Every structure is written in C-alpha cells, then in structure tokens.
Amino acid sequence: MFDFARLRLAASSDFARLRLAARRLRRLAVRWRSFVPCVALAALAAGPVASGADADAAVARRVVSLNPSLTAMLVALGAADRLVGVDVWSKRQNPDLAALPTVGGLYNPSLEALVALSPDLVVFVPAAEQRDFHARLDGLGVRVERFDPVRFDEVLASIERLGRIVGREAEARARVAEIGRVRAGLEGAAAGLPRPRAVLILQRDPLFVVGGANFIDEMLTSVGAQNVAGSFPEPYPRVSLEWLVAQAPEVILDSSHDADPPAAHWARFASLPAVVQGRVVRLPVGIATLPGPDLDDALRLLSRSVHGRDLLGGR
Amino acid sequence: MRALSPGRWAAVLLSLSGLLAVVAALGLASGPSGLAPSEVWEVLGGGGAGAAADIVLRIRLPRVVLAAGVGASLAVSGVLFQALLRNPLADPFILGISGGAALGGILVLAFGAAVGLGQSAVPPAAFAGAVGATVLLFAVTGLGGSVSTTALLLTGVVFNAFASAAIVFIASLAGLAEGASIFLWLIGNLSGGEIRLALWVGLFLAVGLACALPLARGLNLLALGEEQAGQLGVEVERHKRVLLLATSLMVGAAVSVSGLVGFVGLIIPHLLRLVLGPDHRLLVPASALGGAAFLVLCDTAARTLLPGRELPVGAITALLGGPLFLVLLRRHHRSVYAP
C-alpha cells in the first residue's frame, strides 16, 4: 500500500516555515486515511479476528455498524431492524437507512453519540482511528467485534460470522452458498475463453489500481481475466501511468469517481489495446469494489465488463 | 559582491542550460517501462509508433516539460519574493497564493464529482483560487501608495492559515478517494502532466521573467532597504507592485497544475546565491534554469526509484534538496550571508 513513513519523513524535513499548517494537515490526513481508495470503505471489513467465541455470545439486538460493507451485510441478512446507528458512509450508500441516527464518519465516529444509542454490539473495521475507539468502547463495557476481510474467503467468512452474531446463520449460509455457486459457474464458463489482460482502475490521478492478494483480484481471475497488477503484493498499489501503458491491458475497468467519461480519458493513449478494441468500461462505484454481501453481483458485473456479455446467460 | 561581467553571465547561464538539457534527456530516457534509449530517440525524431510513442510523447515528454516549467516558476518566484520582502525565509507560498490555489483545487477534488466536474477541472479551479488570493492580497494591503512588506506578510500568513483550516474542514467531509487526492495534492505531485498544462505554466513563467529581468538591478538596490533604493533612483513602489502581481500569477499557475511542491522555491535561490553571489541580474535567470533542472531530476527520481510506482515529487525535492543545501550552506555561508 502507500508508504506513509516516507511521506512523514518528507514532511518533517520540510522547513519552509509557512507550510507549518499544511504539514499539520498532512499528518492529519495520514492518520485519517490509512489510504485505500474507494475500495477502502470496503477493505475495512474483516476476516475473523480472534475476538473469540462470538458465536456463543448472546445474539445482538441493538447493533451499531461503523462500516458500509458491514452495514450492507447486515441489511442483506435481513437484520436491518437490529441496526440502531450507522456511520455516514453506510447511510450514503443505503438510502433506506436515512432514518437511522448517524454516529459519525469512518474515521471520526462520535463516542458520545454512539453510547447514547446504548448498543449491545458495535461492529467496525480497524482503521487507525477506530482502533483507539475500540479500546475506549471496551473500557465502557460495550461489546465490540472487528472485521478486516481482504481475501475473497475472508469476505465470505465475515458474512457467516456476522450472521452468527445477529442470529441469521441460515441467511448467511444461503448467501455464501449463492456466491459460491455463481463463482463456480463463472469459472466454468470462462474456462474455455481467452483470458484478456485487464486492469481495474480505482482512481486516475493519483493512479491507484487493484493489485494482488485481495478479493477483487481473485474475482478478476474467476471471471477469466488476468489482472496485470496482480503481481503487486499490496492490494491497492499506486502505480505509474507509464507502467500501465507498458502493460498494454486489453480491458480497462474504470471505477474511479471521476466525472470525465473513461473512454474519452483513456483514448489519449492510442496504443492501448483496450482503447483500440473499445474495451474501456466504466464500473459503477462500489459494486465490484465493496467487500460486502453481494459478491455474486460483483462477479457477474465483472464478467459482463470483461467479456461483454453475461457468461451465465439469464440465470 | 563579485563583479558581473557579460562573459561570466553568459558562461553561467550556458552551463545551467547544458545541465537542464542533460537532465531533460535523462528524464526522457528513464521510466519504468524499460524502453531502450534508441527507441526514445526514434520516437522523438518523428518515428516509432504504438506504446513507445504513447510513453515518450504523452507521458514522459509532458512531465519533463511540466516539471521544468513548475521548477523554474517556483525558483524564480522564490528569488523574487526573497528580494521584494527582504526576507530570506520567503518562499513562493509565503503570500497565501498557494493557499488560495489549494483551496480552489481541493474544492473541486472533494466535491467536483457531485456536480459533474472531473479532475480536469482542478487546475482551472486552483488558478481561480490563486487569482482570488492575489486580489485579496492587494485589496487588503492597498493598491495605491506604498505597499507595506509587513502587511503583505501578515496577510499571507493569515490567509494561508485560513485556507489550511478550510482544507482540513473540506477533507473531513470528503470521501476516501478524494481524501487521497487531496493529500497528494498538498505534498506536490506531477503525475497528471499534460502538455497543455505545461504550456500554461510556461506562459506565466515567460510573463514573470519578462517583468523581473529588466528590474533585476533595482532588486539589487532594494537589498539596501527601500529608502536607500528610492534615493538611488529605484521606483520602489512600482517595482514592487509589478513584480508582486507577476510573481503571484506565476506561482498560481505552477501550484494549480502540481499542487504544493515544496522546497524548490526556497532552496534553489539560496543554493545559487551561495554559489553565484547575490546579483539578481544573474540570480533570476539562473534560478529559472536551476529550478527547472532540479525539479526535472526530482520528478525523474519520483517516476523511477520504485519500478512501476510513483512517489510524490514533493517528498523527493525535500529529501534530495535538504542535505545538499546544508552542505553548501556550511561551506559558503560566511562569504554570502555574513555582513
């Protein structure tokens, strides 16, 4: 991922005195945004992390979710009625939750607003600020469960674990089974097809793409694409434009927030096979990149985007 | 002060031009895709096609030209602000122009997508912010009569603090992806390099140099103090207003395409002053060439140090420039800064 140590070093050797304020801001930014691009929202959810015997604990009835992907899982499992509060991003992503109280953003939740809801469970993802928050909630005797899924199987495990916690095991198992069915179907259908070299753009400038060892990379492989950035060890590396052009991707999946149309943006580089073949596709933000409950939809979206058609037909 | 003969003037500027040419060639020849230098020259000579042409003409060349333009603009504005404000700590960001540009650019980075503005709208918005800050600067310190150096500095400091606070506020409202853009913008970044942006920066650099070069002798006299300079026939107030305006626009253009690339504007003028002496007739053009060469070199490093990845150039300028500057300061400071 991003090397903040290097940036901090730069900041500390910067002695132009009137940039003090900017430096303070930079430090803040470093803390706020243990950066992962838009996926970040998602990446923040988590594999089972030794918080132990959650299955045995009492079923949670008043849940606060501090992460959009966890919120989406709870809603998909039919446990929306258990939610008593969410973070700002969960709400933006799911307008149905408009009536729920907000307890702050991903990185700046309000302890007071949260405690006022008297939750019996808080689910969250261990971003830098939330780790501290975790300790404070623990101190107040509020039960806290952390999630941090990066790999595909970890997302599935998170769905099942959350299902156990809120007493929706059957729904969780069904969801995971359906995702597995779609994945196996797509893998089978893609087996005989050419495997185009693809890149998934998270952000254009600075250029962030999906690297290796994460659920999106695994889904690209499942639908029969070769992720040209799959060899990067970190999930969401910042890469150079020149590197990308030299990789000659045949498919560009652009899920950046940028309002400028992807086709026009990438047409600057006429040598890109994806441009020549007209295979620059805009991916809706948040479907393929959220480690949430709908990885089956994400897989089908990716397969349509890579191959130009739904490999599973009408199913 | 060493005497400035036309021969020395020409020799210094020719050497620096040579340095810039070498560094630019290095920048064009280096990159993570491992093109052979022969392929690069073939493309530059009008041949070559495909990926090599895209890489050399649409990625490397715009960045080298942009880095040169931004580096020259920042170094020249640093030298001019240091002279005008008679303050060795002055850098291009001291008068709040950068704060205005940052505010404009970051507003679009944070909220542009919501109103249909892409990242291509960032430079114009940042430049509008820089112009706004310049207008504010002149409105507060007064257009007519004398412009007080203290009032200028205070306006800049206060406006920068205000802009920083506003940026923190905006960043706390923005999403993660926008937050990352904002962060990289604040540390300085040339990865969005496009040739039309480079030409835009070059235009304001040309205006700045055209205003500054004829007034360089006046800047030398200004070092004696405004009163003495006035007695020696320098039209102090007119000089100051013309140069402040030209320099502010030059900074605004540079910052609007690259964000806040630190260090170049502070270090290059001092570095050259240490080596060449304090005569602005030489120092101003030398800073343009030196700043250009320095930033092209730093950006080449930012593009190539980690294969396939990008480092923010603002971090490289500080890491490379800081130690170099301290070494030179230790060696030469008695001859230049001692009374």
In the predicted structure, residue A176 carries a pLDDT above the cut 80: yes
Residue B25 lies in a domain: no
Residue B85 sits at φ, ψ, to 5 deg, of -90, -5
- Distance of residue A299 Cα from the nearest chain B Cα, in angstroms: 23
Which residue in chain A is spatially nearest to B35 when comparing CA positions? A246
The candidate with the shortest Cα–Cα distance to A42, out of A270, A225, A294, A305, is A294
Answer whether B231 touches A (CB < 8 Å). Answer: no
* Cβ atoms A189, A311 nearer than 8 A: yes
Q: Is the pLDDT of residue A3 over 50?
A: no
- The residues facing A85 across adjacent strands are A64
Specify the CATH class of A193-307 in words: alpha beta
Between vectors from CA A132 to CA A127 and to CA A138, what angle results, nearest 5°? 115
Q: Is the backbone of residue A224 left (phi > 0), alpha (psi -120 to 50) or beta?
A: left
Distance from CA of A34 to the nearest CA of B (A): 9
pLDDT of residue B49: 76
> Token digits for B195?
């040739």
pLDDT 10s digits, A274-284: 999 999 999 98
- Tokens standing for residue A70: 């966890």
Q: Is B171 in Cβ contact with A29 (below 8 Å)?
A: yes
Give residue B67's pLDDT.
Answer: 96
| Any domain includes B73 | yes
Q: How far apart are CA B123 and CA B193, in angstroms?
A: 11
| Tokens 């249909």, residue located | B116
Give residue B13's pLDDT: 96
pLDDT tops 90 at residue A189: yes
Q: For residues A246 and A164, give the distance between their C-alpha atoms in angstroms, rounded to a whole number.
A: 47
Residue spans of chain B under pLDDT 70:
1-3, 143-146, 175-177, 334-339
B 86-105 residues inside an 8 A Cβ radius of A: 89, 91, 93-94, 102
pLDDT value at position A54?
45
Has residue B323 been placed in a domain?
yes
- Beta-bridged to residue A253, according to DSSP, are A200, A281
CATH number at residue B330: 1.10.3470.10
The closest of A161, A157, A128 to A145, measured between CA atoms, is A161
Contact residues on chain B for A245, CB-CB shorter than 8 A:
33, 51, 54-55, 59
- Answer yes or no: do A26 and B310 touch at CB < 8 A: no
Residue identified by tokens 């892409």 is B118
pLDDT digits (tens, 9 = 90+) for A64-81: 999 899 999 999 999 999
Asked if residue B31 is part of any domain, the answer here is no
Domain extent, residue B73, equals 65-336
Q: What are the residue ranges spanned by the domains of chain A?
A: 4-32, 43-167, 193-307
Residue range A119-160, pLDDT digits in tens: 999 998 876 556 577 778 888 888 989 898 999 999 999 999
Beta-bridged to residue A254, according to DSSP, are: A201, A282
For residues A126 and A104, the answer to whether their CB atoms sit within 8 Å is: no
A174 vs A13, residue with greater confidence: A174
CB A302 within 8 A of CB A220: yes
The enclosing H or E element of B322 equals helix B313-336
Q: Which residues of A touch B189 (CB under 8 A)?
A: 206
pLDDT value for B177: 66
Q: Look at residue B42 and tell me if it is in a domain.
A: no
CA distances, B264 to each of A185, A224, B212, B251 (Å): 57, 48, 18, 12
Return the closest-CA partner of residue B311 out of B320, B302, B298.
B302
Q: Does domain A43-167 have CATH number 3.20.20.80?
A: no
pLDDT surpassing 70 at residue A102: yes
B67 in reach of chain A (CB within 8 A): no
* Phi, psi values for residue B13, rounded to 5°: -70, -35
Contact A30, A8 (CB under 8 A): yes
Our count of domains for chain B comes to 1
Banded model confidence at residue A46, pLDDT cuts 50, 70, 90: very low
Residue partners of B130: CB distance under 8 A and separation at least 6: B97, B98, B100, B101, B104, B248, B249, B251, B252, B253, B255, B256
* B50 is a domain residue: no
Confidence of residue A51 (pLDDT cuts 50, 70, 90): very low
Average pLDDT for residues A238-258, to the nearest whole number? Answer: 92
> Cβ–Cβ contacts within 10 Å for residue B188, how many?
28
pLDDT at A164 exceeding the cut of 50: yes
What is A241-299 written as a DSSP string? HHHHHHH--SEEEE----SS-HHHHHTT-TT-HHHHTT-EEEPPTTTSS--SS-HHHHH
Can you tell me the mean pLDDT for A167-184?
Answer: 96
Q: Contact A25/B186, CB-based, under 8 Å?
A: yes
Q: Report the gap between the CA of A271 and the closest CA in chain B (Å).
A: 5
Closest by CA position to A158, among listed A120, A131, A125, A186:
A125
Residue of chain A whose Cα is closest to the Cα of B323:
A13
Per-residue model confidence as pLDDT tens digits over A25-42: 444 444 443 333 434 433
Q: 10 Å Cβ neighbour count for B330?
A: 9
Continuous H helices in chain A: 4-12, 20-32, 40-43, 68-76, 88-93, 111-116, 128-139, 152-165, 169-190, 215-222, 241-247, 262-266, 273-276, 295-307
Select the residue of B49, B117, B160 nearest A259 (Cβ to Cβ): B117
Q: Does A162 touch chain B (CB under 8 A)?
A: no
Q: Torsion over CA of B219, B221, B224 and B226, rounded to 10 degrees? A: -70
pLDDT digits (tens, 9 = 90+) for B92-137: 888 888 899 999 988 988 888 778 887 788 889 999 999 999 888 8
CA distance B126 to B116: 17
A241–B187 C-beta distance less than 8 A: no
A14: chain B residues, CB-CB within 8 Å: 262-263, 318
Please give the Cα distance from B191 to B182 (Å, whole number): 14
**Burial state string for B200-211 with b = 16 or more CB within 10 A and e = fewer than 16:** bbbebbebbbeb
pLDDT for B69 equals 96
What are the tens digits of pLDDT across the range A263-315? 999 998 999 999 999 999 999 877 888 899 999 999 999 999 999 888 887 54
- Mean of pLDDT values over A220-224: 96
Whether B8 is covered by a domain: the verdict is: no
Q: Is B182 on the interface with A (CB under 8 A)?
A: yes
